[in-house]
A = this chain, B = another copy of it.
Amino acid sequence: MKSFFINTGPYNINDISKHLIFSEKKKFDNLLVKNISNLIDAEKGDLTFLESPKYLSELSKSHASFCLLESKYNKYIDKKKIVPIFSKNPLLDFIIIAKIFYPESDNDNYEFSQNRNYENLNQYNTLIDNSVKIGNDFKVGLNTTIKKNVIIGNNVKIGSNCVISNSKIADNVIINDGTVIGKIGFGFKYINNKLNFIPHIGCVILGKNSYIGSNCTIDRGSFSNTVIGENTMLDNQVHLAHNVKIGNFCYIAGQVGIAGSTQIGNHCMIGGQAGISGHLKIGNNVQIGGGSGVLKHLEDNSKVMGYPAKSIKDFLKS
């Protein structure tokens, strides 16, 4: 997986496995671990982890070369491809290794290398890091900060008082005033009684023609990206947690909140103030009424409402 943070690897598997807390102590063959990743995005040479049996189907397709997992899932691993590392808590051990590879990723960047383009943009108080790549026809408001390595396509408009970091922004995207995109997500784990911020090596990807309202917050991904599809529109004060993935042509009204790692298909409509729990899969063409609370997966073409959200037919009956 490609990260905005600097990969300090590769590391010999025996060097990094020494730091693991919940894994068996064992000498592995002297192999290099190139990178860390989630199961889906892992490439050859990468280390990944199996957090729960929910993801066994992803394990079977993963291109990773190393995997932290509980020993009871040993039989699901193809040992020709993947070296298993047995751990009583694969997630916590993965966090330990993620911090070795990406020591800056459990934090946000407060430094600011140098301002760019100030004169050309003719905007007061807007600060764009020297490393930012910007396409043609860029417009930006005042008092906005665009942090290092952000990539901005053509014909993009960003309002005033925004903070943009760790983001890839496609052509024709509009981001309105006061919106914060790409900061670290909300995740903490205590390991041996010491607080750890979960590393967030992912970024935020805004698809072509997408539109983000004012005072929204979109956190970057932890071990995958936060993604907004093409032609998808977000109204004001929407909150997207880390790893949320939204398809194309979705309309998301004001004050909607979507919890971490939830995936939403294409052509969905979500009414104002609706909330969706974490780790859910919402299909295509789904309609969610304003103010609803979605606590379960939803199939394609579902129309739901209420708390907990049920089919509109059932909602109107009750």
Which residue in chain B gives the minimum CB-CB distance to A307?
Answer: B291
Is A110 a contact partner of B259 (Cβ separation < 8 A)? no
List residues of chain B with CB within 8 A of the CB of A259: 253-254, 272, 290
Does A283 sit within 8 A of B, measured CB to CB?
no
Does A219 sit within 8 A of B, measured CB to CB?
yes
Nearest-CB distance from A299 to chain B (Å)?
Answer: 21
Nearest-CB distance from A173 to chain B (Å)?
Answer: 13
* A208-252 Cβ-contact flags toward B at 8 Å (1 or 0): 010101110101000000000001010111010100000000010
List residues of chain B with CB within 8 A of the CB of A103: none
Say what secondary structure dominates the interface of chain A: loop
Total A residues in contact with B, Cβ cutoff 8 Å: 57
Does A78 sit within 8 A of B, measured CB to CB?
no
Does A255 sit within 8 A of B, measured CB to CB?
yes
List residues of chain B with CB within 8 A of the CB of A186: 213, 233, 235-236, 253-254
Is A161 a contact partner of B163 (Cβ separation < 8 A)? yes
Nearest-CB distance from A236 to chain B (Å)?
Answer: 4
Is A177 a contact partner of B163 (Cβ separation < 8 A)? yes
Does A125 sit within 8 A of B, measured CB to CB?
yes
Does A202 sit within 8 A of B, measured CB to CB?
no
Is A178 a contact partner of B195 (Cβ separation < 8 A)? no
Query: A108 CA to B273 CA in the complex, in Å?
Result: 25
List residues of chain B with CB within 8 A of the CB of A233: 186, 188
Enumerate A53-76 residues with CB–CB distance to B below 8 Å.
none
Is A257 a contact partner of B254 (Cβ separation < 8 A)? yes
Q: Given contact pairs A110-B141, A188-B251, A273-B293, enumerate 7 new A-B contacts (beta carbons under 8 Å).
A: A142-B145, A163-B177, A195-B231, A215-B217, A217-B237, A254-B259, A255-B275
